[in-house]
Chain A
């Protein structure tokens, strides 16, 4: 058995260390299935920004980037297959854009030493770098988002939500259930009542849930939706004449395609966003170097949309982390462990964003060994019937609520999996 183990281990090592000439950023995308409406613009934005870096700057630090795409259809089994098939390629960082796939990849990527960046999704307590050494969820997570929404509502209601009801309409999966714990804590703290309405995959059937909303008339409806669920929810809200200003989506429930099918009737619907919108210089450059050159990942029609911008923002954060890693280690051709160091030393300032042609796209934040979560700030945006309009500046979450929850959940994970918190020692 020992010999067998030795052979297996040496085979694994041989398979895991190819001579990579490119910086490989695999994209576990989904361009098919009920979640494709969100998956396509994000994947396009991610790939196009990397292509822009290749075309305009000759890659990152002189090394070309490569974005191999693998179709997961938002399905966890295919996610595993995609991970295994792209891993040997010298993958630097994984961004699965699916909370379900994230949960599977957390132990695998940690064991394989590849960082995982789950930007505003995935396991919230991964913000604790003491426990989750290879998982990053900057610039924000679901618990921050829940807290941001409540903070905004508090401000609108003169600091008190006493006696109000908030209904949480959520996708009945790990993704949708994430904010419940935070909202329950906040409900106890601020004295509002929380009612939970689960919508099953894929989210097309919401008749019962909206009947209940119609009957109970909650003061606010907060939605954790994705894919086709968002469009259906907005349509149902319009059908029961729910006041749209009081219907608030999280940052995955606020893209053009979610409301465009209803159009002007959905005016007033609000959602969070972790990246700012608007005309940024980088879009012109993508148009010139990527789309007009015929190198776009998609048909180029998504340029500047909410999720395209977010995919581009994700690629920008990955590229900056790779650049940081190159500086730290003094080599251009970095590997996954160096990439991890780069992500952990990431410092996003206004100058960095400006230099990349996307001034103020996100909040300024610094990643440390202990804190992999960023600031958690988000803006509130509103659909005016034709386009998304930014309503507020970046709103900060209430860390005194989310931080203890992160500590508690990550401690439980550390105990279950026998992980020693590590940053504190070094």
Chain B
């Protein structure tokens, strides 16, 4: 009824090509932004920030990053955890070497560093494809973790090999700490929200521009793409660079803002690579919304389940954990059988139906 294009006249090319062509969608988008910026920071408490919202936002960045590479450019990667570790360790080195630097610069620099490392590990993608590329990125994962364990310079020669984030400020004239134990949760939340907003916006516009079209051409058929004039070297390496930039920022935020102290083998191990890969598969390959949906599914659902099982139903905590695996696993299978293209496709179908509602014929 209210969810349709009718009556919303587009008079410019820009208006015709906007991300949310339906008025209701646009309002919903502005509403989400408004709630995210102007309401949540005032009511957020430590539990909501540290257990639910901040990890969700950070994993959403990682999922967008991997979606650029795997979903849009078709290059399977199992090295996400290792690239996240690059971001985290770059942040740590910058934070300890330049105590005056603010967090926005540190995080962006960490992303840039990861982009460079990502390009280096992306070079084999010019020769190998599919499963073989997955194995090559798997090697990157293990090599990077080994490197950060092996070379004490990366963890400033600390006795335990742990890195921990000292207190640093938001930006050079906004003296509000966003890392360290004294950081307020609203500041940490807003910091992550800012990155998610900007990065998702950039990703959306990258993927529908010429760069994104090149990526998708490579994904759909690389030989055909080459024949019509897409340079595979450029397309694949830009995808690796952009993807690693995002993943590096996610890794940096995971360490600096969320965890505060990190053990590389545990926080950035192979399980993290799989976690992010599952997010984009469940959320939907080649979709920005799918990245958010997948991150929400994998991060928020277990916490909600745990709270329901142990809190509301009073189950034993070990039993609840075992059941959490069962339920999340069953839901993953259910979604993949019912909708193999992920939650994003499910959402698109709902929108199709809504456009016709209430007169389906």
A→B interface (CB under 8 Å):
1, 4-5, 7-9, 11-12, 15, 29, 31-32, 36, 40, 69-71, 73, 75-77, 80-81, 84-85, 87-88, 99-100, 103-104, 106-108, 110-112, 123-125, 172-175, 177-178, 180-181, 198, 200-201, 409, 412, 416-418
- Indicate which residue in B47, B185, B321 contacts A73 across the interface (CB closer than 8 Å): B321
CA distance A99 to B266 in the complex (A): 12
CA distance A288 to B108 in the complex (A): 61
> Which residues on A sit within 8 Å (CB–CB) of B184?
5, 8-9, 12
Closest to B322 in A: A32
User: Which interface class (under 10, 10 to 19, 20 to 34, 35 or more) fits B?
Assistant: 35 or more
User: Interface readout for B244-279 with A: 1 if CB under 8 Å, 0 if not?
Assistant: 000000000000001111110111010000000000
B228 at the interface (CB under 8 A from A): no
- Is the CB–CB distance between A87 and B161 below 8 Å? no
> Which residues on B sit within 8 Å (CB–CB) of A178?
159-160
User: With contacts A4-B186, A84-B51, A107-B181 known, is A174 near B160, CB below 8 A?
Assistant: yes
Q: From DSSP, what is the main secondary structure of chain A's interface residues? A: helix
Report which residue of B167, B184, B263, B303 has the largest number of chain A beta carbons within 10 angstroms of its beta carbon. Answer: B263
Report which residue of A12, A71, A125 has the largest number of chain B beta carbons within 10 angstroms of its beta carbon. Answer: A71
Known: A32-B318, A103-B263, A107-B180. 5 other contacts (CB 8 A): A12-B184, A31-B321, A84-B51, A173-B265, A175-B160
- Is the CB–CB distance between A71 and B166 below 8 Å? no
CA distance A69 to B306 in the complex (A): 12
- Is the CB–CB distance between A85 and B261 below 8 Å? no
Counting from the closest, the 4 A-B pairs by CB-CB distance are A31-B318, A111-B181, A174-B160, A107-B181
CA distance A178 to B55 in the complex (A): 29
- Is the CB–CB distance between A180 and B149 below 8 Å? no
B116 at the interface (CB under 8 A from A): no
Of the listed stretches B38-46, B63-71, B121-129, B340-348, chain A binds B38-46
> B95 to nearest A CB, angstroms?
10
> Which residues on B sit within 8 Å (CB–CB) of A100?
162, 261, 263, 266
User: With contacts A107-B260, A417-B166 known, is A11 near B160, CB below 8 A?
Assistant: no
> A32 to nearest B CB, angstroms?
5
> B136 to nearest A CB, angstroms?
21
Can you list 13 A-B contacts (CB < 8 A)? A1-B176, A5-B176, A8-B42, A8-B186, A31-B317, A73-B321, A77-B258, A80-B259, A85-B47, A103-B160, A177-B159, A201-B269, A416-B96
User: With contacts A32-B321, A107-B181, A124-B159 known, is A4 near B42, CB below 8 A?
Assistant: yes
> Which residues on A sit within 8 Å (CB–CB) of B354?
none
> Which residues on A sit within 8 Å (CB–CB) of B318?
29, 31-32, 36, 40, 71
- Is the CB–CB distance between A88 and B47 below 8 Å? yes
CA distance A67 to B51 in the complex (A): 21
- Is the CB–CB distance between A416 and B266 below 8 Å? no
- Indicate which residue in A31, A75, A77 contacts B55 across the interface (CB closer than 8 Å): A77
> Which residues on B sit within 8 Å (CB–CB) of A181?
159
- Is the CB–CB distance between A172 and B149 below 8 Å? yes
User: Interface readout for B291-323 with A: 1 if CB under 8 Å, 0 if not?
Assistant: 000000000000100110000000001101110
Report which residue of A88, A125, A201, A416 has the largest number of chain B beta carbons within 10 angstroms of its beta carbon. Answer: A416
